[in-house]
Structure 1
Amino acid sequence: MKQKKETANEIGPVSFEEALNKLETIVNELESGELALEESLTKFATGMDLAKLCLSRLAAAEKQIDKIVQMEQGKLIEKPLELWEEEQC
């Protein structure tokens, strides 16, 4: 029986960590150069979807962190998050 391949639109509900782990696995498989062209294309498409999912979840987390407020003279002040990676660029 042939194993069903995971297509780009069949990721399903996964946590950020699961999506990141799947993406890392796909990157390693693609970098190995041992996959057939068709399988490489399918994995690449799935990887792109996983990357979009991860970026979306990171953006949502960043918005939540931005809403963490500090008390300053009795007023709530929203301060934007400065990510360490952005400082390195």
Structure 2
Amino acid sequence: MLTDKGYDADAIRADLADRKIEAVNPGRLNRRVKIEHDRALYKQRNRIERMFGHLKVNRAIATATTNWPSSFLGMVHLATARYWLKFVHAA
């Protein structure tokens, strides 16, 4: 899968297809053969990735080594509430 210029997107997509996984990423804009993708599914995936990025800003979540799932979930709730309050205050 790794070529001299990076990862081969077609090989990755073929591997995903072999494992019955649907790739939702669009192809690059300069691709000769355009790849169809589900825009709504890609948008949802992007929102989830961005939310994890915002949660990782909180060091307690990024370096969580606790053995208690409820404690970890509590930190996720606190971080999410802080993010939401910042969003509401800006609006």
Give the TM interval when normalised to the shorter protein: 0.3 to 0.5
* Structure with greater strand share of residues: 1
State the TM-score, normalized to the length of structure 2: 0.33
Greater RCO structure (CA 8 Å; 6+ sep) = 1
State the TM-score, normalized to the length of structure 1: 0.34
